[in-house]
Amino acid sequence: MKTSRTIILLIILTLILASVDLNAQRFKGAVMGGFNISQVDGDEVYGYHRFGGNIGAAAIMPFNNWDITLEAVYNQKGAYQKRRYSGDSLTGEYNLRLNYVEVPLLVHYTDKKFISAGLGFSYGRLVKASEEEHSGSQPPYMDSVAFRKDDWNILADFQIRIWKRLWFNVRFAYSLVPIRERTYNPPGLPEPWTRKQYNHLWTFRLVYVFNEDLSDRVRKEQ
């Protein structure tokens, strides 16, 4: 319940910022939603097999062809590996879910009001985590070493207009600092090893922009 209130307050604050007219500068607002495919580097599980949601709102400050964008986002990350072995205790199955409230800040350049590319970073606060290993036959590692609450990410962002004020967005994100360190000591191997873990994901979503000044060319073409 506390998490839901935090998300709602962040989205309301972002929309309020988007509606403010500061020094005659036109602000834009946006709402977005879509999905993530993610993995965690350093967990000995490979592939983008964890699907999660991505929903939020943004305030956008334009400067000619440049935009500064501040978002408030609820972001689901993690990792997944299906059962690999038939044993009772070591099945190889892994199921990790990490839910964050994030505040991304990006700078975009838009060409001909049609294609946009940007770079930035985000701060995320972990609000919920669950980890299941070997089909639940063994206690998860997070019982002994928890995930860090803070997650700083570097972002690369690409958008293309698909209809009037509706854009399609692809975003890449990678943790700048480890979210956890884990020591592996599987049976049959002589020495354990330790790896730092990082969130690693792609986001695909639709973005609808409010208060956007469409050019005559965009209006005619769409």
CATH class of the domain whose range is 2-221: mainly beta
d(CA 113, CA 149): 38
Flag whether pLDDT at 65 surpasses 80.
yes
Is residue 183 within 8 Å of 163, Cβ to Cβ?
A: no
pLDDT at 216: 45
Q: Where are the domains of the chain?
A: 2-221
- Three-class secondary structure of residue 134 per DSSP: helix
pLDDT digits (tens, 9 = 90+) for 32-46: 999 999 999 999 899
Predicted TM-score (pTM) of the model is 0.84
pLDDT at 47: 92
Burial 110-125 (b: 16+ CB within 10 A, else e): beeeeebebebebebe
83-87, 101-105, 128-132, 186-190: least confidently modelled range: 186-190
Flag whether pLDDT at 175 surpasses 90.
yes
Is residue 32 within 8 Å of 54, Cβ to Cβ?
A: yes
